Amino acid sequence: MRGQDATLERLRVDRQLEEALAHGPDPLHLAEVFGLDEKTAMRYADSARALLKQGAEQQLR
């Protein structure tokens, strides 16, 4: 991964957010799949919820 803009941390965060977008912003699911802390899972779910809402609003335009 040398010379790449992506870091392991960025890839991990991207994968967790992708999971939240694909399976719905369910913090329990995220915590179970990735072994996340409750607060972290809720943060990812909130981010996914905001992205889904933003996407829905753009489709209405």
- pLDDT for residue 1: 52
List, run by run, the mean pLDDT of 10-residue segments along the chain (61 residues): 74 87 90 94 90 79 69
- pLDDT for residue 58: 76
By the 8 A CB rule, do 41 and 19 touch? no
38-60 and 8-23 helices, crossing angle to 10°: 60
- pLDDT for residue 3: 66
pTM of the model: 0.72
